[in-house]
Chain A
């Protein structure tokens, strides 16, 4: 990519963002509506929110829960995915069921989580975990199935032990899949967590959002949506960057 092309790749998206914010601002000015704030008011409200300790507590609760459920679903999804992918029989038996389960919208299952686990951190965690776990797991199974049979045969003829096989063949082949899975499951786990907090929460960003709805505080909602986008984007950009590195390192395009 030449320097001018790279500059264009930054200038144009930024120009679009500025244009959209301008449209938002102009619309808000024309409407002069009490419920439709302009960008500045939204940022100001966000600033006010951020000086409230209960709001900071909500951010902390959400971020903590997100980190916990994300790490769990990556680890468990990777381990179980590889485990299932290695067994042809169980893959054939379970994979179609998992795909079917994945096509059911998770949110309608949330009340079942509440009934079985009770209202609280545990059910929120379990729901965020499940939202991110299934895609991670499915990707890992598919990745493991597509590990070259030739490589596995080579391993067998060299009489590699399983730990050796895992370290030298499986893991290097699967690292790109793991990172891609992380990127996808992060977004879904965050989505699940926010939905859970909106439906049953006493703190957390989803709870704050819905509380503002009942009080029709648009500027606060807008400000909070901006905050949520920032929280979501930082890890995603990091993972996307890692993804590019890993894909070029392991030579898979």
Chain B
């Protein structure tokens, strides 16, 4: 409840500062203008298709790819010790190394299209899914494994009926982070070097002094990130049997 007051208060202060003329309208536009520009942009079909839709597709594709790949790699690491031991030191320090430094390499090899962005966004999101899923797999009690072997369960059955459901809360936590990382990675790369997409739209508006458009698009991105975050949290909390 008070959070709403804080947010509204913040927006009112920004609005007042701009209206009072303390900051030039080139640097900061009133919140009301941001909102109307955002609405105008949402009605602009070129923006919708070239920028918004394109970014959303990149994010969704990378997110799904990273989720599936992450769980599979985690399973491989859980099952084969050699796989786990050789990968885990790298995975543990993965987020310390700025992955986007690789983006220029991809641009030189594949151009500024969506392929390099999807590849790197997936790589950026997959690691958090692997780490979380592996935690979940490792947390399955030894007794359960014994029970499964007593019941004569095969590997696929064990994976589907025991491992996956048991690890689901951890996987869900990983997926939530993966979504946030996917949004960050996709927009950041569009921002630096791309010819389309939301990130590109914002950096282009900045470069061409279209401050109003820039703030409008930032507002849309913020809303998009919030909606994706809240929606995914709702969806995943249904899978989380530990909190039920």
The answer to whether B5 has its CB under 8 Å from any CB of chain A is yes
Q: Are A232 and B97 in contact (CB under 8 A)?
A: yes
The answer to whether B235 has its CB under 8 Å from any CB of chain A is no
Chain A residues near B26: list those with CB within 8 A: 115
The answer to whether B173 has its CB under 8 Å from any CB of chain A is no
Instruction: Give Cα distance in the complex from A240 to B88, angstroms.
Output: 14
**At the interface, is chain A mostly helix, strand, loop or mixed?**
helix
Q: Are B206 and A195 in contact (CB under 8 A)?
A: no
Q: Are B211 and A216 in contact (CB under 8 A)?
A: no
Which residue of A16, A89, A206 contacts B87 across the interface (Cβ within 8 Å)?
A16
Which residue of B87, B96, B109, B226 contacts A236 across the interface (Cβ within 8 Å)?
B96
Q: Are A240 and B105 in contact (CB under 8 A)?
A: no
Contact digits for A182-209, partner B, Cβ 8 Å, 1 yes 0 no: 0110111011001100110000001001
Q: Are A109 and B192 in contact (CB under 8 A)?
A: no
Q: Quick one: given A103-B225, A108-B218, A195-B100, are A221 and B183 in contact (CB under 8 Å)?
A: no
How many whole Å from B52's CB to the nearest CB in chain A?
A: 13
Q: Quick one: given A93-B6, A104-B222, A104-B226, are A13 and B85 in contact (CB under 8 Å)?
A: yes
Which residue of A13, A93, A97, A213 contacts B108 across the interface (Cβ within 8 Å)?
A213
Q: Are B27 and A111 in contact (CB under 8 A)?
A: no
The answer to whether A75 has its CB under 8 Å from any CB of chain B is no
Q: Quick one: given A116-B27, A218-B105, are A12 and B97 in contact (CB under 8 Å)?
A: no
The answer to whether B203 has its CB under 8 Å from any CB of chain A is yes
Instruction: Give Cα distance in the complex from A199 to B204, angstroms.
Output: 11
Instruction: Give Cα distance in the complex from A218 to B110, angstroms.
Output: 12
Chain A residues near B102: list those with CB within 8 A: 225
Instruction: Give Cα distance in the complex from A105 to B222, angstroms.
Output: 8
The answer to whether A168 has its CB under 8 Å from any CB of chain B is no
Q: Are B96 and A97 in contact (CB under 8 A)?
A: no
The range of chain B's interface size is 35 or more
Q: Are B191 and A108 in contact (CB under 8 A)?
A: yes
The answer to whether B221 has its CB under 8 Å from any CB of chain A is yes
Q: Are B95 and A184 in contact (CB under 8 A)?
A: yes
Chain B residues near A109: list those with CB within 8 A: 218
Chain B residues near A92: list those with CB within 8 A: 2-3
Within 228-244 of B, Cβ neighbours of A (below 8 Å) are at: 229
Closest to A93 in B: B2
Q: Are A187 and B85 in contact (CB under 8 A)?
A: no
Q: Quick one: given A15-B86, A191-B100, are A218 and B93 in contact (CB under 8 Å)?
A: no
Closest to A218 in B: B108
Instruction: Give Cα distance in the complex from A70 to B107, angstroms.
Output: 29
Within 1-29 of A, Cβ neighbours of B (below 8 Å) are at: 8-9, 12-13, 15-16
**When A and B form their complex, which 9 residue pairs have the shortest distance between CB atoms, in order from nearest?**
A93-B2, A111-B206, A236-B96, A12-B86, A16-B86, A187-B96, A105-B184, A107-B188, A213-B104
Hey, which bits of chain B sit against chain A, CB under 8 A? 2-3, 5-7, 23, 26-28, 82, 85-90, 92-93, 95-102, 104-105, 107-109, 180, 183-184, 187-188, 191-193, 198-199, 202-203, 205-206, 211, 214-215, 217-218, 221-222, 225-226, 229
Hey, which bits of chain A sit against chain B, CB under 8 A? 8-9, 12-13, 15-16, 35-36, 89, 92-97, 100, 103-112, 114-116, 183-184, 186-188, 190-191, 194-195, 198-199, 206, 209-210, 212-213, 216, 218, 221-222, 224-225, 228-229, 232-233, 235-237, 240
22 contacts between A and B (CB under 8 A): A13-B88, A13-B89, A16-B90, A93-B5, A94-B3, A94-B6, A95-B3, A104-B226, A105-B184, A108-B198, A108-B218, A111-B206, A111-B214, A115-B27, A115-B211, A116-B28, A187-B98, A190-B98, A191-B100, A213-B108, A221-B108, A229-B101
